[in-house]
Amino acid sequence: MRTLNLKVIRSLLGLKIQTTGIALLVACGSGLLISAWSSYDSLRSAKDKTYRTLRFGEIFAEVKSAPMALEPRLRNISGVNEVDLRLVEDGLLHLPGVPSGRFLSLPPTGTAGLDRIHLSSGDLPVPNPVPEAVVHQGFAGAHGLRPGDLLEANLGGKRWKFRISGIGLSPDTVYAIGPGAPLPDDLRFGVFWMPRTDLERMSGKGKTFRRLSVTVSEDTSIHRIREEIDRLLAPYGTAGSYLRKDQISDRLLENEIVEQRTLAILFPTVFLSIAALQTQSALARLIGLERLQIATLRALGYPHREIQLHYLKLVLLMVSGGSAMGVVLGSGVGRLMASSYRSFFRFPEVTFSTGRGAIALGIAASLLPALFAALSALRAVRSMTPAEALRPAPPPTFRIAGIERILTLSIRNRMIARNLLARPLRLIWNTLGMACAWILLIMSLSWTDILSNLIDERFRRLSRETLSMNLNSPARESESRAWSRLPGVLQWETQRILPVKMRFAHHSRDLILTGVPSGAELERYSLSPSVVPLEGLLLSRHFKEAWGIRVGDPVEFDPLTEGSGRFTLSVSGFVQDSLGLSARIPKHLLHGALGEESTFNRILLRIDPAFEEGILSKLQNSPSGSGILSKRATLAGFERTLGTLIRISTVILVSFAWVMTFSLLISSLRISTSERHREIATIRVLGLDFDQAFGLLLSETGIQWILAMPIGILSGNLITRAALNSMHAEEYDFTVVISRRTYGLALLVIGGSFLIGALRMRSISKRVALPDALKMEE
Amino acid sequence: MIAGTNRTLVFKARNLSKSYRLGQVTIPALRGVDLDLYEHELVVLLGPSGSGKTTLLNILGGLDSADSGEVFYRDHDLVRASESDLTRFRREHVGFIFQFYNLIPSLTALENIRLVTEISPSPMRPETALDLVGMDQLGDRFPSQLSGGEQQRVSIARAISKRPDILLCDEPTGALDCETGRKVLEAILKVHRELGTLVVIITHNAAISGMADRVIRIENGRIGDVSSSIAKVPLSEIRW
């Protein structure tokens, strides 16, 4: 069969454009799957590796203050492997914005114990007259800190100077989140680690601890161990022990990773399915064009099995070229995605490796539809006798098109209409294929729309303040007027915020309960006029969906930082929070629950931009304020982290979608041109010039693209919404919006690809001499 | 019908019928054909376009099946043969020559012949086959680099390279001018003489009848007049 193999190679070379088109489709589909899945895999193994090497605890608990003498009793709990007790002290830093800092003690040997530190630069601190500390790398990055820098902080009622010895992070602070804060905020909150002796001296807390972390041996009852821990810590004020999965950094991280997994499944599935469908349709048409050659081979005495094998080889070579490109492309793009994770997820190390499973899946998903296409196309040829296959395919049954009864069409337009309507199945199939290009583009481009909408909604239309400041302790409401009198203040509002542990049934979660004054305008919670009014407790709708809370249900709140006791509030409604989770309540009701007078500990200011710098520096010098934040800085931070990650993903997706659209279009145009060479030639013989004749073919394809537009827009919209709505994580509950810009860009990409493809086909078609074209079989 | 002689019978067809459906119309192509073909004969099936001659040729060559009646190739029943039997029949016994040559465009002349010699039980060397049709100098050309006559001669070389028992030619000169057509017929004649192959040529060109041992006319799917040539016309005198 050597000559038949030669034919495979020659056919492949002769079908350069079609082969390239199909190979690119396959490469994009499998490449996206391989890159997305491998980078997700790398992320997951980076997390596991970080947790393992830095010895992340398995059970945690916080207490108001407990003596270190408890350590032997905790260690003796059966099943407990290691116990790590840390002194924790919160304080304010003398840095722009007066951020708050959480200072944790380190075990005597900095490298021992649980939740160890990974240093990205500098050294671990050693006891010193000028204390040393390792600063969390997120905070160091946001404030431009380096080892050797001197900082000042208010700790234990005194102002202390300390030196940064190193920059790093620990497994419990991959995301560093302030008490009750919804999302990490590196500008406003940082974590510091110091030798215990230094922190004891600075905080004046002596041999006590506030945070416990333990690991347990396998096959022990976690439940029993937690009960023991809770019993031992109960006298010292604890909200109870919790597992690693409820640890705030882990939970946030896990949410992010799950979201990456959804992305790694969702987008490649849609892309790969479209690639598979298109490969199948292109191959079926290609084999259809080979009908006469297949019939000749049969007439020469080749059995069907060998012909089948011959075409399978051809298809396999076409597709496996694409698969190989997909593996290379997938690894390259995956590496790029993994490196963007590195800056977002802050793992000490994200080692990218192309997953074997992803490669196998990518290759199988591209090969199987191709083989199926080849076999089904060959089956169609087999069902004919060789004599039948040797004759040109009978023309379809042409009819007077319905449109001709309504409109008077020119002869050429009649030809176009009848040609399209004579093969309704082909028309539908081609139109659906073209609609796929819209789905790909809308799905990829909509990411930036979602991001812009999120920014616009969250940072412009809901939060309308310019600056905000938290107070170190609640102040009387009357004191707020002093702020309103500052020059340049256009509007001001106060809030009473309370970091709490919220509990419902077996669920619990740290968050901030915000007491909102009536008629609040600077920080709104919804843009919809139909939303429930703020007359009682309003929660993020995540709690309704994930915790099963209903209106009227009682929810328990345990204040985390203030001494007041536990209280219960009943839920009056739910709102959509695009970023982070919230609990809101009318301010007076919160005062009532806390049994206090009208106070505030957060102030929001909308100011004249010309006065922003002046007011900011006044706030920073105020002794009572902390966590001062300008919205511009928050927005910049958001853009820098999540924005960058989304933009990189969008660029990758859009590039894949663009290449796929182009290859889909060019291979479909190329095949149409081959199918119609003879007809175009005949029309030219009758006296039309080349462009008029080619125009007929192009008009038919063009009409299919126009028909595909509404179908593509509609299905692109539906699929994008369904896909993105399915990936809501706790912290992100964004609205899926698709802007006119997205539709416009998609139209531009499709129109541009069509134009390039048409010009290319025109030059190919024009090169065929008229007599040769006339002799070509259809 | 021609009366039986003592020559060996190769094809025996009885009451052969075949019709096609074209849209909603049924077109009868063969209506009860009886036919005997013998070893070493050169037969011309003559008839206007649409008379059923290609259908008959296709059934004889195992490319198509009859609706009713019977066809035997020696003692092989072609009507009841399975697809793989027909494939083997074509591979081992039949050489086809088509009006439009049907060469594989991606293979050179020599490779087109190898396509056949590689699967035949006792083929000749592909070069010998090309030599027989006077194309030995052009073996490395692709079909697109050959004239119509040259392509048809390659197609003849491909057909004879397996040393077929039967050579079935469907309008072999239909797409060619007189002079080129004559060269093609010369090649067919040479093969017929040197290899003793049964040759069946279908044509609507009456001029070609002069070279045949027998001329069988087909009209409206039925066998009409059958005539035997006593004195064949030399090819050089055939014109159309």
Number of residues in chain A: 778
Query: Å from B193 to nearest chain A CA?
Result: 23
Query: Å from A675 to nearest chain B CA?
Result: 16
- Residue with the larger pLDDT of the pair B162 and A352: B162
Q: Is A390 on the interface with B (CB under 8 A)?
A: yes
Distance (Å) of CA B221 to CA A41, A366, A624, B16, B20: 71, 50, 110, 10, 12
Cβ–Cβ under 8 Å, residues A708 and A432: yes
d(CA A719, CA A714) in angstroms, rounded, equals 9
Residue A548: helix, strand or coil by DSSP?
coil
pLDDT at A448: 85
Cβ–Cβ under 8 Å, residues B27 and B81: no
Question: Interface pTM (ipTM) of the complex?
Answer: 0.80
d(CA A245, CA B214) in angstroms, rounded, equals 95
Out of A293, A385, A775, the one facing B64 most closely (by C-beta) is A385
pLDDT in tens, A354-384: 878 888 888 888 788 788 877 887 787 777 7
Please check the confidence at residue A180 and state whether its pLDDT lies above 70.
no
Set of chain B residues whose Cβ sits within 8 Å of the Cβ of A292? 102
Number of residues in chain B: 240
Residue A712: helix, strand or coil by DSSP?
helix
Please check the confidence at residue A482 and state whether its pLDDT lies above 80.
yes
Q: Supply the DSSP symbol for A300.
A: T
Torsion, Cα of B215, B218, B219, B220 (10° steps):
180
Read off φ and ψ for residue A125, nearest 5 degrees: -75, 150
Residue A591: helix, strand or coil by DSSP?
helix
Which pair of tokens denotes residue A101?
Answer: 């800092």
Taken in order of first residue, the domains within chain B and their CATH numbers are: 9-233 (3.40.50.300)
How many CB atoms sit inside 10 A of residue A633's CB? 18
Burial, A434: exposed, middle or buried (Cβ in 10 Å; 0-12, 13-18, 19+)?
Answer: buried
Whether residue A10 and residue B106 make contact (CB cut-off 8 A), yes or no, is yes
Residue A452's nearest CA partner among A731, A746, A742 is A742
d(CA A582, CA A576) in angstroms, rounded, equals 9
Window B:173-202, CB contacts with A under 8 Å: none
Q: Among the listed ranges A27-41, A296-310, A319-333, A610-624, which one has the minimum average pLDDT value?
A: A610-624
Residue A693's nearest CA partner among A628, A621, A773 is A773
d(CA A518, CA A585) in angstroms, rounded, equals 10
How many CB atoms sit inside 10 A of residue A647's CB? 15
For chain A, percent of residues with pLDDT exceeding 70: 95
Chain A residue closest to B147 (CA)? A772
What's the average model confidence in pLDDT over A186-190?
A: 86
Read off φ and ψ for residue B102, nearest 5 degrees: 50, 45
Out of A1, A11, A390, the one facing B118 most closely (by C-beta) is A1
Please check the confidence at residue A421 and state whether its pLDDT lies above 50.
yes
Q: Is B81 on the interface with A (CB under 8 A)?
A: no
Residue type present at position A503: R
d(CA A187, CA A351) in angstroms, rounded, equals 28
Set of chain A residues whose Cβ sits within 8 Å of the Cβ of B106? 7, 10-11, 13-14
Q: What is the 3-state secondary structure (H, E, C) of chain B?
A: CCCCCCCCEEEEEEEEEEEEEECCEEEEEEEEEEEEEECCCEEEEECCCCCCHHHHHHHHCCCCCCCEEEEEECCEECCCCCHHHHHHHHHHHEEEECCCCCCCCCCCHHHHHHHHHCCCCCCCCHHHHHHHCCCHHHCCCCHHHCCHHHHHHHHHHHHHCCCCCEEEEECCCCCCCHHHHHHHHHHHHHHHHHHCCEEEEEECCHHHHHHCCEEEEEECCEEEEEEECCCCCCHHHCCC
Q: How many helices (H) and strands (E) does chain A have?
A: 23, 20
Give chain A's radius of gyration (CA, Å).
Answer: 33
Cβ–Cβ under 8 Å, residues A225 and A83: no
A716: CB partners within 8 A, 6+ apart: A435, A438, A439, A440, A441, A442, A443, A738, A746
Whether residue A397 and residue B23 make contact (CB cut-off 8 A), yes or no, is yes
- Residue with the larger pLDDT of the pair A634 and A65: A65
Set of chain B residues whose Cβ sits within 8 Å of the Cβ of A776? none
Confidence band, pLDDT 50/70/90 cuts, at residue A440: confident
Q: CA angle A508-A510-A516, nearest 5°?
A: 115
Out of A3, A293, A385, the one facing B118 most closely (by C-beta) is A3
pLDDT in tens, B3-40: 445 689 999 999 999 998 876 788 899 999 999 999 99
Set of chain B residues whose Cβ sits within 8 Å of the Cβ of A302? 87, 91, 119
Interface test with A, best of B22, B57, B87, B165 (most A CBs within 10 A): B87
Whether residue B87 and residue A302 make contact (CB cut-off 8 A), yes or no, is yes
Window A:250-279, CB contacts with B under 8 Å: none
Cβ–Cβ under 8 Å, residues B180 and B147: yes
d(CA A517, CA A491) in angstroms, rounded, equals 14
pLDDT in tens, A87-134: 999 888 888 877 889 999 998 775 678 999 999 999 999 888 899 999
Burial, A129: exposed, middle or buried (Cβ in 10 Å; 0-12, 13-18, 19+)?
Answer: exposed
